[in-house]
Chain A
Amino acid sequence: MATLNINGKVHDVMVESDTPLLWVIREQVGLTGTKYGCGVAQCGACSVHINGELMRSCSLPVGAVKPGDKIVTIEGLSADSSHPVQKAWLALDVPQCGYCQSGQIMAAAALLQKVPNPSDKDIDDAMTNICRCGTYQRIRAGVKMAAASAAAFAPANDGRTIAPAERKSKA
Chain B
Amino acid sequence: MKKRTSKASRAMLATATITAPTNLSRRKFIVGSAAAAGGGLTLGFQFPFAIPSAEAQGAGNAYAEINAWVVIRPDETCAIRIARSEMGQGTLTGLAQLVAEELECDWKNVTTESPTPGQNLSRKRVWGEMGTGGSRGIRTSEDYVRRGGAAARIMLLQAVANDWNVPVGELSVSDGVITHASSGRKTSYGKVAAAAAKLPAPDPKSITLKDPKNWKIAGKPMKRLDTAEKLNGEIVYAIDLKLPGMLCAAIKDCPVFGGKLVSYDEAKVARRPGVRRVVKVNATTVAVVADTWWHAKTALDALPIVWDEGPNASQSSATIAEHLKEGLTATAAYASRKEGDALKAIDGASKKVEAVYSTPFLAHSTMEPMNCTVKVSAGRAEAWVPTQNAEAALAALSEESGLPLDQCEVYKHPLGGGFGRRGGAQDYVRQATSIAKQFPGVPIKMIWSREEDTTHDFYRPISQCRLVAGLDDAGKLVALHARVSGQSINAFLNSPAAKGGSDERQLQGWYEKAGNAQLGYTVPNLLIEYAMRNTHVPVGPWRGVNTNQNGVYMECFMDEVAHAAGADPLEFRRALMKNHPKHLAVLNAAAEKAGWGTPLPPGVRRGIAQFMGYGSYSAAVAEVSVSDEGKLKVHRMVLALNCGHAVNPDQIAAQVEGSVAYGLTAALYGECTVDKGRIVQQNFNTYQIMRLAEMPKVETVIVPTYDFWGGVGEATICVVTPSVLNAIYAATGKPVRSLPLKNTKLV
Contact = CB atoms under 8 A, between A and B. Distances in A.
Answer yes or no: are A and B bound together in one complex: yes
A134 B242 CA distance: 29
B393 to A, nearest CB: 18
Contact of A37 (B1, B227, B415, B450): B450
Nearest to A143: B692
Interface of B: 1, 87-90, 223-224, 226-237, 239-240, 242, 248, 273, 292-294, 365-369, 414-419, 447, 449-450, 650-651, 654, 657-662, 683-685, 689, 691-693, 695, 697-698
A69 interface: no
Interface string A69-107: 000011101101100001001100111111111100100
A89 B231 contact: yes
B230 A38 contact: no
Contact of B658 (A93, A102, A134): A134
Given A32-B236, A96-B658, A124-B692, A133 B88 contact: yes
Grouping DSSP codes into helix (H, G, I), strand (E, B) and loop, the A interface class, with mixed when no group exceeds half, is loop
A113 interface: no
Contacts of A43: 367, 684, 689
Contacts of A128: 691-693
Contact of A135 (B233, B239, B294, B657): B657
Interface in A10-47: 16, 19-20, 23, 26-28, 30-40, 42-43, 45
Contact of A19 (B294, B450, B689): B294
A86 B651 CA distance: 19
Contacts of A131: 367, 661, 692
The 4 closest A-B pairs by CB, nearest first: A33-B233, A134-B661, A97-B88, A99-B416
B657 A27 contact: no
A96 B685 contact: no
A35 B367 contact: yes
A130 B415 contact: no
B683 to A, nearest CB: 5
A74 to B, nearest CB: 4
A90 B657 contact: no
B232 A99 contact: no
8 contacts: A42-B685, A75-B232, A80-B1, A90-B228, A97-B366, A105-B231, A129-B692, A133-B88
A92 to B, nearest CB: 9
A90 B223 CA distance: 9
A125 B416 contact: no
Contacts of B689: 43, 130, 132
Nearest to B241: A32
A28 B274 CA distance: 13
Contact of A134 (B226, B650, B662): B662
A23 B230 contact: no
Given A132-B662, A134-B659, A135-B654, A90 B90 contact: no
Most chain A Cβ neighbours within 10 Å, of B227, B366, B650: B227
A93 B88 CA distance: 11
Contact of A35 (B87, B90, B368): B368
Contacts of A127: 691-693
Given A40-B685, A93-B227, A34 B657 contact: no
A95 B293 contact: no
